[in-house]
Amino acid sequence: MTIFALSRRGDTAGPLLLVGAEDADEAVAMIQEQEESGALFEYGYHDSPDGYDVAIADEQQKTLWARSVRAGIDEGVIQPDTDDPDWLTFLRPPEFEPPIEDDDL
C-alpha cells in the first residue's frame, strides 16, 4: 500500500487529504466513493466537481497518516488486525460546520 496526497484539481491551497491505496487510480476512486456516500459533507468538506490531483505522500505526510491511523486504532475506530480502506486523513480543518441530523424529527 502507498500513501497518497490528494488535492482538488485547480485548488492552490495544497493537499486536502491523505489516503492509503494500491495505486493513484484506487486513491481517487476511494475519495469519489466517499463523496457519493456523503461522507465528506458529514465531516464538513465540499466535494470536488473537477476531480482530484494525486501525488505520492512525502515523508512528513506519511508520518501524519501513520499517527492518524494509530489514533484511530487507539480510539477503537479502526481494528488493528484489518486494513480500513476508507480511512482518510484530512490535512485541513473543516470548511463548514456540517448540519446536525436529528433522527427524532
What pLDDT is attached to residue 77? Answer: 79
First to last CA, the chain: 43
Mean pLDDT of the 60-87 span: 80
pLDDT in tens, 13-30: 989 999 999 999 999 999
Sorted by where each begins, the domain ranges of the chain are 2-90
What pLDDT is attached to residue 103? Answer: 55
DSSP secondary structure string for all residues of 6-40? EEETT-TT---EEEEESSHHHHHHHHHHHHHHTHH
What pLDDT is attached to residue 9? Answer: 93
Cα 13 to Cα 2: distance, rounded to the nearest angstrom? 23
pLDDT in tens, 38-70: 988 998 999 999 999 999 999 999 999 889 888
